[in-house]
Chains A and B, each alone.
Chain A
Amino acid sequence: MVFGTSASTQRKFRALIADDDPVIQKIHKVLLNKLGFETQVVVNGKEAVDLFRSGAFFNLVLMDMEMPIMDGPQATRELRAMGVKTMIVGVTSRALESEKQAFMGAGLDDCHVKPLSAEIITSLLKKLGKNK
Chain B
Amino acid sequence: MDRNNLQRQVAYTRRSLFDQGYLDDQFIQLEDLQDDANPNFVEEIVTLFYSDSSRLIHSIEQALENRPLDFGRLDNYMHQFKGSCSSIGAKKVKSECTQFREYCNAENAEGCTRTFQQVKQELAILRRKLEAYFQLARQAGGAQAG
- Interface, chain A (partner B; CB < 8 A): 21-24, 26-27, 30-31, 33-34, 66, 93-94, 114-115, 117-118
Produce 1/0 per residue, B31-75, CB < 8 A to A: 011010110010011001100100000000000000000000000
Please judge, given known A-B contacts A22-B48, A23-B48, whether A31 and B87 are in contact too, CB under 8 Å. no
- Chain A-chain B contacts (Cβ-Cβ < 8 Å), number: 47
B-chain residues with CB within 8 Å of residue A26 when the two chains form the complex: 44-45, 48
Q: Are A27 and B35 in contact (CB under 8 A)?
A: no
Judge whether B126 is part of the interface by a CB distance below 8 angstroms: no
Q: Are A23 and B49 in contact (CB under 8 A)?
A: yes
B-chain residues with CB within 8 Å of residue A33 when the two chains form the complex: 37
A-chain residues with CB within 8 Å of residue B41 when the two chains form the complex: 30
Which residue from A34, A94, A118 sits with its C-beta under 8 Å from B35? Answer: A34
Judge whether B17 is part of the interface by a CB distance below 8 angstroms: no
| CA of A93 to CA of B26, assembled, Å | 14
Q: Is the interface of A mostly helix, strand, loop or mixed?
A: helix
The total of chain B residues at the interface (CB under 8 A) is 22
Shortest Cβ distance from residue B126 to the other chain A in the assembled complex, whole angstroms: 14
Which residue from B33, B37, B79, B83 sits with its C-beta under 8 Å from A114? Answer: B83
A-chain residues with CB within 8 Å of residue B52 when the two chains form the complex: 21-23
Q: Are A27 and B30 in contact (CB under 8 A)?
A: yes
Residue of B nearest to A24 (CB): B87
| CA of A24 to CA of B88, assembled, Å | 9
Q: Are A21 and B45 in contact (CB under 8 A)?
A: no
Shortest Cβ distance from residue B63 to the other chain A in the assembled complex, whole angstroms: 17
Subset of 26 A-B contacts with CB under 8 Å? A21-B80, A21-B84, A22-B48, A22-B52, A23-B87, A23-B88, A24-B87, A27-B30, A27-B45, A27-B87, A30-B33, A30-B38, A30-B41, A31-B33, A33-B37, A34-B37, A93-B79, A93-B82, A93-B83, A93-B86, A94-B79, A114-B83, A115-B26, A115-B29, A115-B86, A117-B29
